[in-house]
Structure 1
Amino acid sequence: MKAWRQASGFSPEQWLEKEREQIPLWVPVGLGIGIAAWFVLPHRWSWLAFCCAALALACAAALLPAGGRGRRIAISAGILACLGCLLIWGKAVLVEEPQLQRATFVTVTGKVQSVNPVPAKHMVRLLLRPMDAPALPSLIRVNVRESDMSPAIGRDAIIRFRIRLMPPAPPTLPGGYDFAARAYFAGIGATGRALPPVAIIKPATAGPGIRERLFSHILDRVEGPAGSIAAALATGDQGAIVEQDAEAMRRSGLAHLLSISGLHVTALVGAVIFLLMRAMALSRRAALDWPLMLIAAGGGALAGIGYTLLTGSEVPTIRSCIAALLVLGGLALGREAITLRLVATGALIVLCFWPEALTGPSFQMSFGAVVAIVALSEHPRFRAFAAARDENGWRKFGRAIAVLLLTGLAVELVLAPIAFYHFHKAGMLGAFANIVAIPLTTFVVMPFEAMALLLDLFGLGAPAWWITGKALELLLFIAHGVGGSPMAVALGPALPPWVFGVMVMGGLWCLLWRSVWRWLGLAPVGIGFIAILLNPSPDILVTSDGRHVAIRAEGTGMALLRDKAGDYVRSALAESAGYDGVLESLADLPQARCSADLCSVLLDKAGRSWRLLVTRSGMFIEKEAFRRDCQRADIVISDRRLPGWCKPKWLKVDRSMLAATGGLAINLDRMTVRTVHAPNDAHPWIPRRRMRTDQSIFQSGGAAAQRSPSPVASKP
């Protein structure tokens, strides 16, 4: 090895010396690895083992000869990983609140903490603290119909109503959105929908807050779908956006415009700095004697902080505000501010205060996009291409479009793995849609909306609102046009976590280093993309309650057990399977025989026939007939608790098993079962339920699974 290094001229220490300015960028990565390990590993003993292994790495590195950068990096990496795991573990202990363990009907008397209208769903979302109810969690989230609301229901109001409370919902299927984890760190212990009437024990003493009044004012001034987008841009509240428009924005790659993030904060701060600089330049004394940049940066900082507070102080907005403040500090000091060190500092601050944000798509997508943009802008060839020069207007315009397109493509490539992992789909045309959408939002919509709000103080905002509405209608036209294209998104089934982790580390390796060795990161990225292409779609999906089962039929279609399943369930099943078509009825399949109580389906997979038996009702079924059907079936699925004498050949899925595992994704070709919850998962938001002793579902197959079933399904 030493001879090879001498012959090739490569030495790790020499390489690290060349990359010395980039090494600090890995500090938040090391902390993030420890945080991610806490979420991935199942219980406290594995968390302790990880911390010990990280410290052992640091101790082993300390034994290396002193003076080398590799030694210091290994020591720092071990300590940071251990600190990250302890940080999120400690926060989970600090924020721990009792959570509801099972559904219950109760009469709740509670004090309103916040009011969040959701006009698109004709409801209002309340956060309440129950009073004189020690058996209930200290904070619950309640949905109330608009027709049951009253102007007297506001912050600090006391109300009483009847409700069916539920524990915060875990993912319905493997790879789904985990609201239970988010609710745990938000302190929410239960959710539900209030049943009328809602009695007001004590009306609110104060009216709606500034954010609520601004939200209502914008909806009054701009009618239709454009008004809901305008309200989201100003307040961060997307509750008025109907699902069709929200889906179009997602499919077209423009959904980032709806979340208050770096684009919005930067546009506001930039506009404030521009106006202050121009206003102060009108005074000769100010222009000659005052520190204009320092004053303008201070004004921009105050505007950014105020905007963050106004829009609810969500983590993405706070992250953007922190980044903006760091940029302003750099500008005030005369330093180059927009660098990867700035991004790393912002990420480190967010992870220290909100470590749970690491696993959310908002944190990952916002920082991923910013890292891609800054890394691209720092590349010498791109910087030379994008630099201003003496050329005619058409060439300058074409160069600006090319720069915007290249930046959009870089962002789309970086965000694709994140979108696939969290949403099971990634935008393909977002870079082209953003060429028009970003300038339209930054230079037309937001300035004119701000101008309209300012002019409304004097009753003169109507013309500015008209321009804002027309610009937003154009934005929605672009979203629906691009999102409606069959090439708008690429769909795929839920990804295993290891694929996502490999791609993220490979991408960071490419983006954070500068030398030619950075391109080694393309290897894990390429492995991840191949894994995405080869990732098999599940043949059977079972929701966590066992009521809804989707089966991949022969060909490319999918069939659903219950025809009356709602849109949310249908969407979750289709997205988890990477399916973009219409779910058929299982009873309509030629290989299925269904009655009111049972469905028997014959599936040809992996060169053999599989017999699936699924219950459809809670009615009593004759024991002997059901025992016979269980014995003939390879897989039995039910939303009820099945008796011990029901013994299928491979897998029995019933209520007791699903209570411990959550939803399932079954692949018959590989004979594997993926679950929502790992065995013995001890994260604090997981309900404490005992796992059945039969662990065959976690095996890739067994002797019983190798027996060929009868080619004819028995009729229930």
Structure 2
Amino acid sequence: MLEDALLAQRGGLIGWVPVCLAIGIGGYFSLPSEPGIIAMICAGVSTMALWVIGRLVPVAYRPLIVALALIIIGAGLAKWRTDAVDAPVLGFRYYGAIEGRVVNIDRSASDAIRLTLDRVVLERMAPDRTPERVRVSLHGDQVLRGFQPGETLIMTGHLSPPAGPAEPGGFDFQRHAWFLQLGAVGYTRTPVLRLAAADDAGSWRMKIFAMRMAISTAVRSAMPGEPGAFAAAIMTGDRSGMGQGTLADLRASNLAHLLAISGLHMGLLTGFIFAAVRYGLAFIPAIALRWPTKKIAAICALLVGAFYLALSGGNVATERAYVMVAVMLLAVLLDRRALSLRAVAMAAIIILVWQPESLTGPGFQMSFAATTALVAVFGWLRRFEMHQLPRWTRPVLSVVISSAVAGFATAPFAAAHFNQFAHFGLIANLLSVPLMGTLVMPAAVLAAVLAPLGLWDIGLWLMSLGLQWILFVADQVAGLDGAVGHIMAPQPAVLPVMALGLLWIVLWRGQGRWAGGLAVAAAFLLWQQTARPDLLIADNGSLIGLLGEEGRILSKPKGSGFVAGIWLENDGAPVAQDIAAARPGLTRDGRVLAASLGDWQVLQVSGKTALADLVACGGADILISNQEVASPRPCIVFDIKRLRDTGALALDLTDGGDLRVTTAQGRAGIRPWNRTQRPVPHQWVLKKTDPDLASDPSLILSRF
């Protein structure tokens, strides 16, 4: 029976190739330590051994052997990519002169202009220790405005290593920055000065970047306000002009995907070019009867898409969208079906081989979830007689079905990554997406065509009509009561189990496919049983958050706002930091704060003076401080020095009254991106009955 089931999968096995690669890549990133040369040699030998075994086993079982080999290859690809992007990472807090060339301009979450610099020079730092790239946010009054791509700037600022997870198991910005070769992040409050103008003989990447920013500036000048910033974002990928209020409305209405240059924009643009060229050539009989107009149109769309990719800055989402479009257009050139699960699988394979790290990001997951679901559903709908419906209902039905399918397919991933769900997102998309395809993107192409003639205002005016409507819809939908629902962050196993279950339903042939529904149900059950930590401690010791009856109680109303926001969002109950700090449950006495976890007393002390005035541990079992505690104290101490080793902490009260401690660094492991050398325990339990706790509490931590 198993053999028959495996034989039934023949002809559709290509879809399992990216799945197996993804399992290997995900396994690599979940390792507690970096595999060494011995492990890599063993992996290579195992792959060759599997190839030999695959030649000996019956044909029906060979896909299982290939699957194991692909899993090992996926892990190897991730390891190779990790080593390929190796670059220096700042190991301490730096203050001083910063020099570098502008390679990217965007805005931070606080709405500050943010510059990414390469060719970095830091004061009194050897070149081999200097980060490849740094990112600096500009605060305060800046003398210089209108930063130009490729120019060399100099400033005085603060830099720090990329921060670790805000809580154990949270988003690992260190890993994200590693693959961007971003070795330090920081800010400056002093004027930024131009040291050298952009080099006209620079690389083609810098020339494209300069073109992108020039077009963005011109678009925003010709179309003022938020519509102009929106137009610049979808035409060039430059979102630096978008206001935070507009971005919040787009997210709350589930229209933020219209802002990012992804599959929708690339598909609409290349689809419009393909249709325009093909039908345009059809009007010329001499060409239509003698030349393959369909293939000519595919080549034109492919070239325009490539230029759009370069102009947009080539971020991961746009690269992924172009690869998918390119695979489909190549299928047209080869007289194959353009939209099929095979094409989606090929696109996923290319992305995973090229950039394995993209697997862990929401862009990859949501993009391929939507595309796979759309292809599968519309393939299933081909079985029905749709031609009986009135002609005018078909495009309407297609928009409704595609918006609903894409929304439902991406909803779990969006909820897991962003902790929110737009309840009226389907309505907003039905009112906006058709206009994006029928007016906004064609008008953008028209503006580009008319620009050399100085007539692009016509196209921009048409764009503005569509964009004003979309912004109006976003504002109205976001303002509805209950527009956004907030969701607790899931356990790490939830998304992998859910994704495998959904892929099993789509890819498996036969009645056994519905077994994937059990995995999906198990994932939702795991999600429902997720419990948030009783007490969270930031990695600098300056912020703690106690879970109370009204929600998480924060130790201060401002400061460490980024970490506070992440904690509250992961709780599924985001509120303003000052509101969370005003909740009852913590006892404050100046810069000393007390909290209770069952029979455990926790004390947080901020500042040198408050720490020096504290007698012993103030009667607490656990002392937390953002300063270094030099002398031993009769309690368990998590000071700034120890927290640098452990990272952020999560403390939970067990059923027996003990205290379970989970470390962010232990969860992250010893990996190249965190530069950790000392092993840190992932989790341990503190017991008040431990004899070491009674004699010398510091001995408990020294054992790890």
* Same fold, judged at TM 0.5 (above): yes
**Where in structure 2 are the equivalents of 1:586-597 lying within 5 Å?**
588-597=582-591
Equivalent position of 2:94 in the other structure: 104
Amino acid corresponding to residue 557 of structure 1 in structure 2? G
234-243 vs 60-69, which deviates more? 60-69
Instruction: Give the direction of change, closer, same or farther, for the CA distance of 1:337–1:82 in structure 2 (3 Å limit).
Output: same
Amino acid corresponding to residue 411 of structure 1 in structure 2? A
**Where in structure 2 are the equivalents of 1:135-284 lying within 5 Å?**
135-144=129-138, 148=142, 150=144, 154-206=148-200, 209-284=210-285
SS in structure 1 at match of 2:277? helix
SS in structure 2 at match of 1:637? strand
Equivalent position of 2:387 in the other structure: 389
**Is the Cα–Cα contact under 8 Å of residues 492 and 579 in structure 1 kept in the other structure?**
yes
2:663 to 675, 689, 698: 675
Q: Could you tell me how far apart the structure 1 residues matched to 2:236 and 2:406 are? A: 25
**Is the Cα–Cα contact under 8 Å of residues 55 and 79 in structure 1 kept in the other structure?**
no
Amino acid corresponding to residue 626 of structure 2 in structure 1? D
1:571 to 561, 565, 576: 565
**Cα-to-partner distance string for 1:217-236 (whole Å, 9 max, x where unaligned):** 11112222222211111112
Q: Could you tell me how far apart the structure 1 residues matched to 2:580 and 2:301 are? A: 59
Amino acid corresponding to residue 639 of structure 1 in structure 2? N
2:627 to 616, 625, 640: 640
**Is the Cα–Cα contact under 8 Å of residues 233 and 260 in structure 2 kept in the other structure?**
yes
2:672 to 665, 681, 684: 684
Q: Could you tell me how far apart the structure 2 residues matched to 1:690 and 1:485 are? A: 51
**Is the Cα–Cα contact under 8 Å of residues 113 and 126 in structure 1 kept in the other structure?**
yes
**Residue 656, structure 1, aligned to residue 644, structure 2:** no
Equivalent position of 2:365 in the other structure: 364
> Structure 1 length as normaliser, TM-score?
0.86
**Residue 470, structure 1, aligned to residue 459, structure 2:** no
**Residue 91, structure 1, aligned to residue 81, structure 2:** yes
**Residue 340, structure 1, aligned to residue 329, structure 2:** no
**Residue 480, structure 1, aligned to residue 479, structure 2:** no
Q: Could you tell me how far apart the structure 2 residues matched to 1:48 and 1:228 are? A: 52
Amino acid corresponding to residue 286 of structure 1 in structure 2? I
Equivalent position of 1:25 in the other structure: 15
**Is the Cα–Cα contact under 8 Å of residues 605 and 611 in structure 2 kept in the other structure?**
no
Q: Could you tell me how far apart the structure 2 residues matched to 1:372 and 1:24 are? A: 17
Q: Could you tell me how far apart the structure 1 residues matched to 2:139 and 2:516 are? A: 51
Q: Could you tell me how far apart the structure 2 residues matched to 1:602 and 1:152 are? A: 52
Q: Could you tell me how far apart the structure 2 residues matched to 1:149 and 1:276 are? A: 48
SS in structure 2 at match of 1:114? strand
Equivalent position of 1:698 in the other structure: 683
RMSD: 3.2
174-183 vs 360-369, which deviates more? 174-183
Equivalent position of 1:291 in the other structure: 292
Equivalent position of 2:315 in the other structure: 314
**Cα-to-partner distance string for 1:135-175 (whole Å, 9 max, x where unaligned):** 42233223345953647964443333222221122222234
Q: Could you tell me how far apart the structure 2 residues matched to 1:667 and 1:491 are? A: 23
Q: Could you tell me how far apart the structure 1 residues matched to 2:311 and 2:500 are? A: 35
Amino acid corresponding to residue 18 of structure 1 in structure 2? A
Q: Could you tell me how far apart the structure 2 residues matched to 1:287 and 1:147 are? A: 61
Cα distance, 1:338 vs structure 2: 0.8
Instruction: Give the direction of change, closer, same or farther, for the CA distance of 1:157–1:172 in structure 2 (3 Å limit).
Output: same
Cα distance, 1:520 vs structure 2: 0.4
**Is the Cα–Cα contact under 8 Å of residues 15 and 341 in structure 2 kept in the other structure?**
yes
Cα distance, 1:341 vs structure 2: 0.8
**Is the Cα–Cα contact under 8 Å of residues 399 and 434 in structure 2 kept in the other structure?**
no
> Structure 2 length as normaliser, TM-score?
0.88
Cα distance, 1:646 vs structure 2: 3.3
Q: Could you tell me how far apart the structure 1 residues matched to 2:62 and 2:17 are? A: 12
Equivalent position of 1:125 in the other structure: 115
> What is the number of residues matched between the two proteins?
678
**Is the Cα–Cα contact under 8 Å of residues 124 and 145 in structure 1 kept in the other structure?**
no
1:548 to 535, 543, 549: 543
Equivalent position of 2:697 in the other structure: none
Q: Could you tell me how far apart the structure 1 residues matched to 2:583 and 2:333 are? A: 69
Cα distance, 1:622 vs structure 2: 5.5
Equivalent position of 2:534 in the other structure: 539
Equivalent position of 1:458 in the other structure: 453
434-443 vs 55-64, which deviates more? 55-64
2:552 to 552, 555, 558: 558
Cα distance, 1:418 vs structure 2: 2.0
**Is the Cα–Cα contact under 8 Å of residues 94 and 158 in structure 2 kept in the other structure?**
yes
**Is the Cα–Cα contact under 8 Å of residues 141 and 192 in structure 1 kept in the other structure?**
yes
**Is the Cα–Cα contact under 8 Å of residues 408 and 432 in structure 1 kept in the other structure?**
no
Equivalent position of 1:35 in the other structure: 25
Equivalent position of 1:713 in the other structure: none
Q: Which runs of 5+ in 1 are unaligned?
A: 1-10, 707-716
Cα distance, 1:311 vs structure 2: 0.6
**Where in structure 2 are the equivalents of 1:437-516 lying within 5 Å?**
437-516=432-511
**Where in structure 2 are the equivalents of 1:397-408 lying within 5 Å?**
397=393, 400-408=395-403
Instruction: Give the direction of change, closer, same or farther, for the CA distance of 1:13–1:655 in structure 2 (3 Å limit).
Output: same
Q: Could you tell me how far apart the structure 1 residues matched to 2:506 and 2:472 are? A: 34
**Cα-to-partner distance string for 1:70-126 (whole Å, 9 max, x where unaligned):** 43122212211111112211221222111101111122343x151415499352413
370-379 vs 455-464, which deviates more? 455-464
Cα distance, 1:293 vs structure 2: 1.0
Cα distance, 1:66 vs structure 2: 4.2
Equivalent position of 2:603 in the other structure: 613
Amino acid corresponding to residue 449 of structure 1 in structure 2? A
Cα distance, 1:250 vs structure 2: 1.9
**Is the Cα–Cα contact under 8 Å of residues 657 and 691 in structure 1 kept in the other structure?**
no
Amino acid corresponding to residue 605 of structure 2 in structure 1? T
**Cα-to-partner distance string for 1:331-352 (whole Å, 9 max, x where unaligned):** 2332212111111111111111
**Is the Cα–Cα contact under 8 Å of residues 372 and 411 in structure 1 kept in the other structure?**
yes
Amino acid corresponding to residue 402 of structure 2 in structure 1? T
Q: Could you tell me how far apart the structure 1 residues matched to 2:40 and 2:118 are? A: 38
202-211 vs 79-88, which deviates more? 202-211
Q: Could you tell me how far apart the structure 2 residues matched to 1:326 and 1:629 are? A: 66
Q: Which runs of 5+ in 2 are unaligned?
A: 201-206, 692-704
418-427 vs 306-315, which deviates more? 418-427
Cα distance, 1:287 vs structure 2: 1.6
88-97 vs 113-122, which deviates more? 113-122
Cα distance, 1:61 vs structure 2: 9.3
SS in structure 2 at match of 1:125? strand
SS in structure 1 at match of 2:575? coil
**Is the Cα–Cα contact under 8 Å of residues 51 and 82 in structure 1 kept in the other structure?**
no
Equivalent position of 1:435 in the other structure: 430
Equivalent position of 2:409 in the other structure: 414
Instruction: Give the direction of change, closer, same or farther, for the CA distance of 1:242–1:672 in structure 2 (3 Å limit).
Output: farther
Q: Could you tell me how far apart the structure 2 residues matched to 1:532 and 1:195 are? A: 43
**Cα-to-partner distance string for 1:556-595 (whole Å, 9 max, x where unaligned):** 3332211123653442221122213344567755543211
2:513 to 509, 514, 518: 518
SS in structure 1 at match of 2:617? helix
Cα distance, 1:181 vs structure 2: 1.5
Instruction: Give the direction of change, closer, same or farther, for the CA distance of 1:546–1:165 in structure 2 (3 Å limit).
Output: same
**Is the Cα–Cα contact under 8 Å of residues 421 and 486 in structure 2 kept in the other structure?**
yes
**Is the Cα–Cα contact under 8 Å of residues 33 and 669 in structure 2 kept in the other structure?**
yes
Q: Could you tell me how far apart the structure 2 residues matched to 1:506 and 1:334 are? A: 33
Instruction: Give the direction of change, closer, same or farther, for the CA distance of 1:442–1:260 in structure 2 (3 Å limit).
Output: same
